[in-house]
Amino acid sequence: MKRIAILGSTGSIGTQALEVIAAHPSNFEVSLLTAHNNADLLISQAILFSPNTVVISNEDYYLQVKDALAHLPIKVFAGSNAIEQCVGSDDIDIVLTAQVGFSGLRPTIAAIQSGKTIALANKETLVVAGDYISSLCVKHNVKIIPVDSEHSAIFQCLVGEYNSPIEKIVLTASGGPFRGKTRSELELVTKSQALKHPNWTMGAKITIDSASLMNKALEIIEAKWLFGLDANQIDVIVHPQSIIHSLVQFNDGSMKAQMGLPDMKLPIHYSFTYPERISTTFPRFDFLHYPQLTFELPDKVTFRSLAFAYYCLQEGGNMACIMNAANEEANAAFLNDKIKFLQIFDIVEGAMERATFIAKPTLNDYYESDAEARIWAKKLIK
């Protein structure tokens, strides 16, 4: 029985993780659930799964959650600091970090310091502070199991290949809803169009990041830290069917790919069961339903996010932290109808040019860089 903490249980990853747990009651139980604003869903989840603890990080909803769960033996806390304190509990084996964006950094650090296994869905943690997080994992002997479908695929391909040198990895991208569109066509796209991903059902932020290929940019940087790679060892290919989730090429030229239907419950399930595989009732892939798997190069000129990622790897330091913060602000501005789609790239690039570069940042520097980059992004949005 593995005891799971889900940070961000009301989001897309969190709700699917609970579906996985519900399907395997003899293998998993919920110890901790957290949410930011969605108090109603958090209450429903807590009643259904009876965790030891729930945390609502927005303190305005504390009394609502506390009163609704008063008849149950569930501890209720509020505030971001409470999440950091609760992840260290002795009744937690695995911490699924499914919070959105930079907000996932502090709780992930707290979980690592407590020696918990990390099921990492919050890619921004490694994007922002990959060097620091990697060192921290070594110090506390903590394993990170990636939940992103692409990084889970790479992770699975490397099982049993510990002594096999990697020549390169290939991250696959669906291309999002705007694959093949020209810059002039993108001038006119709307928020509703950007939110219609062809293959995956995800939260709003990551769906917009997928449309701009910023999600793939973040994954490039995440892959560097997860697998100890150089920039020239990380490629991206557009694969519209999203069946091959990513590939590894070894130094003998052999390649391994992990395949499956586009369903996030599969990598979530694997992150919980690793190193074992437990039977599921998930739909199975059938080659006859996909007689053609196609591939094409990404448009790095129109979708500049990929170029930003490689620039971040080249520069190092806090540059990826700056990029991520600016993107979070630009993404939110687009979702709130304050900017057009193509302006996302301009705002991110503008913040990267203006924010203070630090070659060897401390943890505190990352927090300050995040704040400064957001200031620059907001100025550019106005």
Domain 2-146 falls in which CATH fold?
Answer: Rossmann fold (3.40.50)
SS3 248: strand
CB contact burial 28-46 (16+ within 10 A = b; e otherwise): bbbbbbbbbebbebbbebb
SS3 244: strand
Helices first, then strands: H and E counts in the chain: 16, 11
Query: What are the extents of the domains in the chain?
Result: 2-146, 151-315
pTM of the model: 0.94
**Total residues found in the chain within this entry:** 382
Residue 47, pLDDT above cutoff 80: yes
Residue 197, pLDDT above cutoff 90: no
Position 364 confidence tier, pLDDT thresholds 50, 70, 90: very high
Residue 220, pLDDT above cutoff 80: yes
Position 162 confidence tier, pLDDT thresholds 50, 70, 90: confident
- 89-125 pLDDT, tens digit each: 999 999 999 998 888 899 999 999 999 999 999 999 9
Tell me the CA distances in angstroms from 232 to 1, 201, 258, 306, one per residue in order. Answer: 41, 31, 21, 13
Residue 370, pLDDT above cutoff 90: yes
> What pLDDT score was predicted for residue 101?
83
Is the distance from CB of 87 to CB of 111 less than 8 angstroms?
Answer: yes
CA distance 239 to 90: 42
CA torsion, points 132, 138, 139, 142, in degrees to nearest 10? 100
Residue 45, pLDDT above cutoff 80: yes
> What pLDDT score was predicted for residue 203?
83
Rg for the chain, CA atoms, rounded: 20
Position 199 confidence tier, pLDDT thresholds 50, 70, 90: confident
- 288-337 pLDDT, tens digit each: 999 999 999 999 999 999 999 999 999 999 999 999 999 999 999 999 99
Tell me the CA distances in angstroms from 10 to 2, 18, 19, 294, one per residue in order. Answer: 20, 9, 12, 34
- The 8 Å CB, 24+ separation contacts for 184-193 are 186/302, 186/341, 186/342, 187/340, 187/341, 187/342, 189/341, 191/334, 191/335, 191/337
